[in-house]
Amino acid sequence: MQAASLRPQFNVALACPSTLVLERLCDRLARGSQNLRRTRVPGGGKTETVRERDFFVLTVPETEQHLWSPWLTVEVSPQDTGSLIHGRFGPHPTVWTGFAFFYLILSVGFLLSLAFTAALAITGGGRGPWPSRQRR
């Protein structure tokens, strides 16, 4: 059982070798209307040999894409008894970058306000955490 994650994902174990899975997957997905990009395994170099492990990115056709359009990242890897297909759904990578910057800015703002409040409390800059104005 998999732990809950932010992005839906799936694993499919197959009994056939990963090279056959890659060949069939490429043929089948290339016939569809979605965009298929085959990417190299990180650090895989530019070899022209048959690959046992590979990555795919499936997206909606560019004419139908929106900011919220899903991406499917598929990894095919060899296993002892055959091969494993691991897929993960998610939005466009720029959306994830936007979320990361939003949480970064929110965290920095929280830490700055916490430091300001702690400094006022420690230095006695008022009766409470905020300085009070006294009238003369």
pLDDT tens digits in sequence order for the chain, 136 residues long: 455 567 788 888 888 888 888 888 878 877 777 777 766 655 555 555 556 677 788 888 878 877 778 888 888 888 888 888 888 888 887 888 888 899 999 999 999 999 998 888 888 765 555 555 665 5
Residue type, 47: T
pLDDT at 1: 46
What is d(CA 29, CA 93) in angstroms, rounded to the nearest whole number?
A: 21
How far is residue 130 from each of residues 106, 108, 117, 136, measured CA to CA in Å? 21, 20, 7, 19
pLDDT at 108: 97
pLDDT at 104: 96
Residues 103/109, Cβ–Cβ less than 8 Å: no
Length of the chain: 136
Q: What is the 3-state secondary structure (H, E, C) of the chain?
A: CCCCCCCCEEEEEECCCHHHHHHHHHHHHHCCCCEEEEECCCCCCCCCCCCCCEEEEEECCHHHCCCCCCEEEEEEEECCCCEEEEEEEECCHHHHHHHHHHHHHHHHHHHHHHHHHHHHHHHCCCCCCCCCCCCC
Domain coordinates of the chain in residue numbers? 9-91, 93-128
